[in-house]
């Protein structure tokens, strides 16, 4: 790893270069992608860079009705696309057939014009959808909208609408379902991301093979707190879209996504800042829901609990994979750190402690400095009120390397260990490692995980001048 040395006053600052993250993006076989979808990414001119993909389109072409679910930011300043997508999902009772996304401009805090522009994007994308005679006429748009980029600026809406329009039959159409099409769509999500975040997998339910694929983006302004749209408690940003060819009822799709997001996207942090645009969308078009030539009913928690639990588990594992990619691509990040808190009275307690450790500036700067400063971890832990008293004489802290080698306990049952500094340096020099905090509640209690990264000088540079 190369190092740059800068002089500042009388001290010397050593700056580690940010490691390349391109290896996290690899080609995916076409057979892994779900059927019944067409996607692309195109250049509209929202981004200044010539040819940069900045508008993505995703269409469900299945003859079956497509179930849709979402989790949106709980930020009070919800962006226009969040407001519009919530409305569309509500009016269509959990159904949607398309997604349109733009990067380069968040369309957030843009007033009435922002709402009008988001509607225009949705309706222009509706025109790309193939007619579906088996579906009842929609009462509103069938397209969900996402935007990401700088807050407080209006979209160059005419450019975006023209780019969407280019995907109608003609020489400029690039819609497809091969790896190139999925990759183009994933690239259209990107802002300060250094690589497109795209994953796919296969899974089986009741002897039928289904596929799931998805993409997300995010590198800064990452500390999501998302909830379902109106169905329950409710610059850069986190966006994600997941597609499956399984058939799931809208209510069960939403329940599965809400559960999965809490354990994945709501469990990551780059800088502790919640965006105005955070959105995760999930489409299930049922295109592969067939057995022995018979179309299967939609999976529903109430009628087939076992099948629903399998889907929920697959979705949760998949969203965790996507969420981790966001942290790995954290702005200026040199470390990927798993924070595990166990022995807590409740899952909520464990999750809150893990979140506090993951967002502590003192912890994150120590990680960058490769300093096993467990006192900072302990201070963050003790600052969180729990549902029952914390017994400090039962708390333990351990640094766990990702290479399977010997862990390093630094605190056991409230008593500090004599730390092997050389071993600590070995572990913290790794790109991946774990901070394990045991609150000492025994085995019959809850565990939660958070994924975070370090704070580097590069993070300050990027966010000191977004235009860079």
What positions carry a catalytic annotation? Answer: 237
- Burial (0-12, 13-18, 19+ Cβ within 10 Å), 420: middle
Contact 37, 59 (CB under 8 A): yes
C-alpha distances in angstroms, 435 versus 122, 370, 445?
44, 13, 19
Q: Hey, is 66 helix, strand or coil?
A: coil
Q: Where do we find the tokens 């070995």? A: 426
**In this structure, are residues 337 and 435 in contact, taking their beta carbons and an 8 Å threshold?**
yes
Task: Please say whether the beta carbons of 1 and 253 come within 8 A.
Answer: no
* Cα 253 to Cα 418: distance, rounded to the nearest angstrom: 50
Taking a C-beta distance cutoff of 8 angstroms, is the pair 82, 72 a contact? Answer: yes
In the numeric block, the tokens 């900072």 are attached to 376
Nearest alpha carbon to residue 336 among 410, 409, 269, 404: 269
* 8 A C-beta contact, residue 94 and residue 36: no
Dihedral sign, Cα of residue 322, residue 328, residue 331, residue 337: positive
């Amino acid at each position: 790893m190369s190092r740059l040395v800068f002089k500042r006053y009388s001290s010397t600052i050593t700056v580690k270069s940010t490691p390349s993250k391109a290896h996290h993006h690899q080609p995916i076989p076409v057979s892994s992608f779900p059927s019944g979808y067409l996607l692309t990414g195109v250049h509209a001119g929202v981004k200044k860079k010539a040819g940069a993909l900045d508008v993505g389109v995703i269409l469900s072409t299945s003859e079956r009705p497509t179930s849709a679910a979402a989790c949106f930011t709980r930020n009070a300043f919800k962006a226009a696309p969040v407001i519009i997508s919530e409305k569309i999902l509500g009016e269509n009772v959990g159904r949607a057939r398309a997604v349109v996304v733009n990067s380069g401009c968040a369309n957030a805090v843009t007033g009435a014009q922002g709402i009008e522009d988001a509607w225009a994007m949705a309706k222009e994308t509706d025109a790309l959808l193939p007619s579906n005679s088996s579906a009842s006429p929609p009462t509103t748009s069938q397209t969900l909208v996402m935007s990401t980029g700088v807050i407080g600026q209006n979209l160059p809406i005419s450019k975006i609408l023209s780019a969407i329009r280019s995907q109608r039959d003609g020489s400029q159409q690039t819609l497809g379902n091969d790896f190139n099409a999925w990759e183009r769509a994933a690239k259209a999500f990107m802002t300060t991301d250094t690589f497109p975040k795209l994953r796919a997998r296969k899974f089986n339910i009741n002897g039928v093979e289904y596929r799931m694929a998805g993409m997300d983006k995010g590198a800064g302004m990452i500390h999501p707190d998302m909830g379902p749209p109106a169905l329950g408690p409710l610059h850069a940003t986190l966006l994600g879209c997941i597609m499956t060819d399984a058939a799931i009822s809208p209510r069960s799709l939403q329940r599965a996504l809400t559960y999965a997001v809490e354990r994945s996207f709501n469990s990551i942090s780059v800088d502790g800042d919640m965006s105005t645009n955070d959105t995760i969308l999930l489409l299930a078009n049922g295109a592969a829901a067939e057995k022995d030539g018979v179309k299967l009913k939609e999976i529903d928690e109430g009628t087939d609990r076992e099948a629903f639990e399998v889907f929920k588990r697959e979705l949760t594992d998949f969203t965790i994979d996507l969420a981790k990619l966001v942290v790995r691509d954290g702005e200026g990040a040199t470390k990927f750190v798993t924070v595990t808190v166990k022995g807590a009275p409740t899952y909520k307690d464990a999750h809150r402690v893990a979140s506090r450790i993951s967002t502590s500036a003192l912890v994150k700067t120590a990680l960058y400095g490769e300093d096993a400063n467990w006192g900072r971890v302990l201070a963050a832990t003790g600052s969180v009120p729990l549902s029952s008293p914390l017994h400090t004489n039962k708390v333990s802290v351990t640094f766990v390397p990702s290479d399977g080698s010997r862990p390093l306990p630094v605190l056991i049952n409230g008593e500090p260990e004599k730390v092997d500094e050389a071993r600590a340096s070995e572990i913290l020099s790794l790109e991946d490692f774990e901070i394990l905090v045991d609150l000492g509640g025994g085995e019959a209690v809850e565990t939660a995980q958070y994924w975070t990264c370090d704070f580097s000088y590069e993070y300050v540079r990027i966010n000191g001048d977004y235009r860079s």
